[in-house]
Each structure stands twice: as C-alpha cells, then as structure tokens.
Copies of this chain bind each other. A is one copy, B any other.
C-alpha cells in the first residue's frame, strides 16, 4: 500500500507513522518542516502505552508530489480547513487515475469543494478523535485518544476504505469505518460548535469552567447543531446533549484545540466548524441564532487577530 501524506503537522505525521509502522509505504509532502523531516524523520512520543515512542522515517520526503516516482494509492490530506487555504490545489500533482483522496480534518461540509474539483476520484472522509500536538519540527507528542473514523463521501464504505482502515490494525490506535461519515461529522460538530468558540470567546476557559458558568448556553448551541444534522437526514439521538454534557464533565478539564490555535496565533477552524454549520442552517431555512451569534463573534476575534 502506497500512501502520501500531505501536511506533516500533528495529525498527518501521527497517522502516517502508524501506517508505516504497520508496513505501508508512506511518503510525506512537507512544507515548513521539510529540512528537519528530510534529514531526521519524525519522532513520536505517546502517552498511550500501546503506541509507545518510536521513530518514523518516511519512504520519501518531498516538497512537491511531482518528485514522486509513482502516484500513491491513497493521498491523505491532513491540513486544517481554514479561511484562505486552497486544499484542492494541494492535491493537484498527487493524483494518479486510481488514487483515492482521504480527508482527515475537523468540521462539517468540508468535502464538497474537493469532490467538485476531482469528481473522478474516490473520496474518503475521515475524522480523528485525538489529542496530539507538534511540539517542534519533526517532533510529535500524542497525549490521549486517537480513534479514526473513515467513510466514503457522501455515504457508504467501499473495499478501498475498508482496506485503509485495516492497515491501522495492530498500530495501537483503532480505526472504524462509518456508513454515514457525514453524520459522524455532524455528531462531532455538536461538541465542537459549543466548546471551541466558547473557549476562545471566554478568553481561555477550559471545558469544566465553561460548563460551570454557561451550561444552558452549551446546551442551546448543541441543540441547534442537532437540528441542522437532523434536517440534513443525519438524525442524532435526542439524549445526545445530555450525554455530551455529562461525558465532558467526566473527562479531565481541557482546553480545546481551537483555543490552543488562538493562543498560538495560528488560524482557527471557524469556517469549517461554525461557518459551514450556519450556512447549512440558513440553506435549510432553519433558525440558528446561537450559532450565528458565535460565528459573528469568532469573525470579530479573527478580525482583531489580523489587525495585530
């Protein structure tokens, strides 16, 4: 199995390393980390014993997919969906006639742009449930979790998707296929649409502090997100709000990745999570004022950050 990872941040480096460890031929297309990764590969440290500490030496480290001798079976696009990023352009030189595109990123309704640009390619949509950070060029720290969910876009599980999932077997990290990966995105978005902007807009509160002061607001945001998902034909269980609130209370308090991005001055996934949710709601004629307010505020925070 021949794989190209585009983006050697935490997500791309980590999942690429797992596939390599299990025997796949994994090359990486690197940008800012190119020199370091080319010379030394990527070092992974994990708090999960089944994953452990190890070194990932990619088959090839390239700056452009044109440098590769053959086109990959799968290209994993592991870049954040942020305003101004041209994801379709990143894929252009990597695709052979049979190459499957795999999107591993947060957010909802992030597939259409790629499906429209490459209508003849199989498109696999992926969600990572993980705490992982890039601590330095070529250094990845895996703190917790890691489950990957993969499914065909817009729906179903093809043999190629199943095969990719199976390639993770034995890596210490579970990969599950999803017949309705779009619904899985909405399900993840229910949590993200509430906690991610609230952590940023509050000025840096963790998940528990948010619930202690604003649980009714968290619930109202979750309910609106569920409303959209249901209207789109991806029904979510009615007790989902209850479950997400109580499981968040049971988990240790933590800062969302959107907050960490904001504090580090990196772009945030505002459009992928909130912007796309609000646009979906409006397209469907739904009233989503809590989400719309958060989206407007996050755009103000981004305007403020851009003016500094």
Contact = CB atoms under 8 A, between A and B. Distances in A.
A167 interface: no
A212 B296 CA distance: 11
Closest 4 CB pairs of A and B: A217-B296, A202-B300, A289-B289, A293-B293
7 contacts: A202-B303, A203-B301, A205-B304, A210-B300, A214-B299, A289-B290, A293-B294
Contacts of A294: 293
A300 B211 CA distance: 9
Interface in A91-121: none
Contacts of A260: none
A176 interface: no
A205 B303 contact: yes
Contact of A201 (B217, B297, B305): B297
Specify the main secondary structure of chain A where it touches its partner.
helix
Interface in A269-308: 289-290, 292-294, 296-297, 299-301, 303-305, 307
A235 to B, nearest CB: 23
A267 to B, nearest CB: 15
Interface of A: 198, 201-205, 209-210, 212-214, 216-217, 220-221, 289-290, 292-294, 296-297, 299-301, 303-305, 307
A290 to B, nearest CB: 5
A275 to B, nearest CB: 13
Contacts of A204: 304
A7 to B, nearest CB: 28
Given A201-B201, A290-B289, A217 B297 contact: yes
A300 B220 contact: no
A97 B221 CA distance: 51
B293 A212 contact: no
B220 A292 contact: yes
Contacts of A214: 296-297, 299-300
Given A201-B301, A213-B303, A220-B289, 19 more contacts: A198-B297, A198-B300, A202-B301, A202-B303, A203-B203, A203-B301, A203-B304, A204-B304, A205-B304, A205-B307, A209-B303, A213-B296, A213-B300, A214-B296, A217-B296, A217-B297, A289-B289, A290-B292, A293-B294
